[in-house]
Amino acid sequence: MHLSTSIWVWIAAFLTLTIYSFLYKDNPLYRFAEHVFVGASVGWSIAIVWHMTAIPYIGIPLRDAVIQRNWPGFIYVAIPTLLGSLYFFRFFPKQSWLARWPIAVMMGYYCGISISPSIEANIFAQVQGTILTGFNPTSLNSWWALLLLIGVVSTLFYFFFSLKHEGFVGKTSKLGIWFVMIAFGASFGYTVMARVSLLIGRIQFLLHDWLGILR
């Protein structure tokens, strides 16, 4: 056993233990660590935005445009800057409606640039993987492709509510429920696995970096 002599390791270990104290019940130490985490995250984010966005994409281009008397370039940077500054009107209740303009522009921009990749990844790729696979009885991939086709078709039957779920439609939709439950279970298992991985990392930090038990 070799205790760490770094004050930062002791602080990190203290905050880790206070966070996990929530497993017992809500307590002031947990709320203290929670507030420290939120405050540090916000402060770090502000510093990152200032040094990696505000200065290189706003401050320097505006300064260079003024020095070079490049007024079209100045307007090109100033307009989105003024539009983004409307976000701060959220702090003023009477003028808070102005913050809707940058929100609307931002949502429209991201919707526009995400439509094409989303259709290609979520529709075309799924259709290609489902039906555009040649079947070879000696290939395991072909049987997986056939299972995928059955799962997709039966799941679509389950969400097809224009017909009564009885007879062939009912049996196929019940098969679709199984595929939906398997997908939900796999997603939940992946989430649990990720959380357990985080727990293992913190335990390794406590036993190795802090207490020096593990070598």
Per residue in 12-26, pLDDT tens? Answer: 999 999 999 998 888
pTM exceeding 0.85: no
Tell me which amino acid residue 180 is: V
At how many degrees (to 10) do helices 60-67 and 71-85 cross? 150
- Report residue 117's pLDDT band, with 50, 70 and 90 as the boundaries: confident
pLDDT of amino acid 8: 92
- Report residue 213's pLDDT band, with 50, 70 and 90 as the boundaries: confident
Nearest C-alpha neighbor of 77 from the set 67, 69, 88, 65: 65
pLDDT of amino acid 152: 87
Do 212 and 3 form a contact (C-beta atoms < 8 A)? yes
pLDDT of amino acid 193: 95
